[in-house]
Every structure is written in C-alpha cells, then in structure tokens.
Amino acid sequence: MHIAHKVPNACERVQAWKPATRNADKQVRSLLDFLFVRYKMPEFFYDVWFKNTTKHIDWFIDLANGASVRDIKNLPIDMTKKMAHTFMQAPDYMSVSEALRYAQVIGFGGDATLAWYVNSCYLGRNSFEHEDFWSKVIQFFAQAGMFEVEKLPEIIDYIQAQYTANRAYSMKGRTISALLRQTEEWHEELRRLAQQRAKARYKRVDLTWETSGIYGCSYEVGNRENKSYQRFSIRELLSSEALREEGREQRHCVSSYDRSCADKVNAIFTMHIKKQGVPEQTAVTIQVRLSTMEIVQAKGARNRSITPTEREVIERWASREYLSMSKFL
C-alpha cells in the first residue's frame, strides 16, 4: 500500500498510532491523519491513497504539512490565489483532477454549474494536454455570460476537432452565439457525411465486433393496466451499421464510435422504450468505457439529458452488470 512507502515522510512514528474504531475505512483515515496531516485536508484528497497516483499523494503530504497549493510541484494549470483557495474547497465527490478544473472555472469567473459541465466533457478527462490552449477555452466560457450550458460538451467536441485540424485555432474574436451555430452546423455535416458513407460505402469498411460481455436487460415500470406502463430494454450495438442507424434516429454522432468498439475501448448500448398504445421507440444511447467499466455518457435524441425514469432504469442495469456511473451523467 502507498502508506508503507511514504512512512519515511511521516511526522510521527507509526508504532505510536492506535486505532480507535473497528471500521477499516475510518482506521485508514485515522492513520493518514496521524502520520501526515498537520493542516486540515479536503475530503476529496484522501482518495488518492487508494489509487495509483503517486504525484497526487506527494501533493497530499506537502499540503498536509502546510505547503501552499501554488507551490506544489508539477501543477498542470497556472494557479491564481483565487484558484488555490477554491481548489481546497472543492466538493467532496470530486477527484483531484476534477477539483483542479473546478478551481480553474471558478477562478476565471464561472460558476459551479459550468464547472460541472466542463468536468463532464472531454476537458474532464484529457489529462491537461495542450493546457495553454484549453485554459483559454475555459476562460472564454467562464466569461461568456449566460448561454445554454448543457450544450457545452457538444461545443467542446467541435472546438477539439478544429484545434486538432489546425493548431493555430484560437478563441480570439469569437462569440458564444457564433460557436453555437458553428457547432450545430458541424454536427449536421457529420451526420450528412455518415449518411453518404452508409449509402455509397465509399472508402468505408463496415465493422462488426463481438459482445463486450455486458448483458442487456428489460425492465417494466408502472401498471400494465393504465397509461403509466412503460417497458425499457437495453441491448448492445455490435456493428457499424447498427451505430449509423442509432445515430440517424437519435440525430447524434454515435457512428464515430465503431472503431473504438471494434478495438474494445468502448461499448455502445441502446435503450428502447415501449409505452402503452405507442410503438417502441429509441430513447437513450449509452457509452460504456470498458477499461473502467464505467457508463460515461447517456444521451437522448439530439444529445438531450436523460430523464429521471431513464436514469433509474440505467442505474438498475448498471448495478446488475457491476458498472459504475459517471458522476457527471
């Protein structure tokens, strides 16, 4: 365990510690506080001891002994005083990386809602690569004023595509209204190209792949005798053609995941819903990252957010299949 490797950095001799509880988690917390903590640490930071994050453990020890956030080594962002203070006040459910993004958004003048959506999209998992560019993007949105923040993941996907194609791409002179329009046009173009490829099969190799091993399900909600009845079914999509059909129905770009599905990076599932007296319809598209067995995205038509009932069904399915759910769904 990481604690054993860091005992030489401890302020106290480990032999002097005595557990005050039988609860294993509380014992570990007590031991960490005894050995390393001289100044109160935020709750989210304790999780680093249970993960393979040696750098973050070193940060924990330095901060717990009174170091300034701005002075710790290898910070991936330029930390202002406001960001440093906000970082140490980040919500308990966040990881260290998510807390850094949270601090960055608040430091630039954004709010907690914007920080939530920043962490829920590509910026929450890009390991701070090309941070000189992305910090300016975050600053742009933090200072953009009121806009439909739910569209941020789609806009970030658009910006990422532009920046990948042209490293000179910048946020200078851009407006939020223009970005929203360009994002919608870009997604429409992707859908149009996907449809063209499906018809012509031009330079396109249709892929099929084996199941991920995650089973689908069928759940009933409500009473069969009245209009409250709904039957939900979840099944895996196992071909390029199936993903294209899903994208056409849902008007999003899930067809772009075919290669990563074939390579066993992701698994894509579709949720259908059958209501009383209504034909069965596609409701939600679900992305599972197989390396972590985590549901990282669940979107309805045109990338709408899932409803409370849809979330309940997905959570039941996730529990049965031992899948975790991203806190940002």
The domain 217-325 is placed in CATH, from the list 2.40.10, 3.40.630, 3.30.70, 1.10.287, at 3.40.630
pLDDT digits (tens, 9 = 90+) for 71-126: 998 999 999 999 999 999 999 999 999 999 999 999 999 999 999 999 999 999 88
Q: What is the pLDDT of residue 5?
A: 67
- Determine what percent of the chain is predicted with pLDDT higher than 90: 62
HEC secondary structure over 249-309: HHCCCHHHHHHHHHCCCEEEEEEEEEECCCCCEEEEEEEEECCCCEEEEEECHHHCCCCHH
Q: What is the pLDDT of residue 7?
A: 65
Q: What is the pLDDT of residue 76?
A: 95
Tens-of-pLDDT digits for all 329 residues of the chain?
A: 567 666 666 666 777 888 887 777 788 888 888 888 889 999 999 989 887 678 899 999 999 999 999 999 899 999 999 999 999 999 999 999 999 999 999 999 999 999 999 999 999 988 999 999 999 999 999 999 888 888 899 999 999 999 999 999 999 999 999 999 999 999 888 888 877 766 655 455 789 999 999 999 999 888 777 777 889 999 999 999 999 999 989 988 888 889 899 999 999 999 999 988 788 999 999 999 999 899 988 999 888 889 999 999 999 999 999 999 988 77
Instruction: Quote the tokens at residue 271.
Output: 């949720």
pLDDT digits (tens, 9 = 90+) for 140-163: 999 998 888 888 999 999 999 999
The domains of the chain are located at 2-145, 217-325
Alpha carbon of residue 257 to chain centroid = 16
Alpha helices for the chain (secondary structure H): 2-6, 24-36, 54-64, 81-87, 96-107, 112-120, 131-142, 152-165, 176-200, 240-250, 258-262, 308-320
